[in-house]
A = this chain, B = another copy of it.
């Protein structure tokens, strides 16, 4: 029971049990049949000496570690933080450790970080790619690293993927707005080049066009400066043909959008209706509560791990893609469009913010 100061090795166990190192290894890995008597001896020695196999040596010998990379854009988004939380738990229960990498949406950084990871001989990789991650993908493909891509599907399908049906989600979103009488919508995005965003924009425009109504469906970028964003949003909302419905492309955009509206002294759904992608935990406590498009995070994590486990077993299997549906949770932030919405709205603080 006493914990030995210096590291106990498989050789110590072997000696203590009066068997050879081979036997110890066989018992621990179940690689070969070992007589019950010696099995007991070995296990007794193991627990007595408190032996834990050195993962470094194991990995070197086996050619790979028990490490799984989890590469996400950041930890600030509810979606990514949720995935990180879930994946760590699942990986741990399967005997793997998660090594965490954040790309900060920067393809260069992502590439460098992934290269560094590879030197650790990962057993697998779970990746939410950044906008231009061609090089990163080539890298892991070249290395033959078992990889599952989450949330964002690359143009080529070379990997296992677990993604969201962004088109359907957006189609539903537009349909709901239309049903409430809205005809002019604004989609606010942060990374227009992201495939996720592109799919949503496409569906946004297409659904509006296909409605057969006289609709306008515009797209606006968030940018990196909150004050500037507020000013630009104000400009949009001052126009006589202003949008009556706003859709935010993620948690962060949703937050900025709400801050901007509050700074402008606007209320929802009175002045404008709101909807946000992803599922921030604060969505139901802003007043009125925010409608959201919820990602099935738990399901994504579970399925991603299953895919990765299978890929690790069968590296050559053809790539699979699983597409999950997001759920629109409609709350009070979406209201009926007053009249035809062509009256302008007063923006008390617009000038203050526009500086």
Contact = CB atoms under 8 A, between A and B. Distances in A.
Contact of A285 (B75, B81, B142, B255): B255
A286 B285 CA distance: 7
Contacts of A60: 54, 56-57, 60
Main secondary structure of the interface of A (DSSP, over half): mixed
A225 interface: no
A128 B40 CA distance: 38
A46 interface: no
Nearest to A96: B116
A274 to B, nearest CB: 12
A282 B251 CA distance: 11
Interface string A160-204: 000000000000000000000000000000000000000000000
Interface residues of A, number: 51
A85 interface: yes
A104 to B, nearest CB: 8
A302 interface: no
Nearest to A69: B97
A115 interface: yes
Interface stretch (A117-125, A214-222, A341-349): A117-125
A115 B55 CA distance: 12
A107 to B, nearest CB: 15
Interface in A110-141: 113, 115-121
12 contacts: A52-B118, A53-B119, A74-B85, A76-B281, A84-B100, A89-B104, A98-B101, A255-B282, A259-B284, A285-B286, A286-B287, A287-B287
Given A66-B120, A85-B102, 20 more contacts: A56-B56, A65-B120, A67-B120, A74-B85, A75-B75, A76-B85, A84-B84, A84-B100, A89-B102, A92-B101, A95-B116, A97-B120, A98-B99, A98-B100, A98-B101, A99-B100, A262-B287, A281-B282, A282-B285, A286-B286
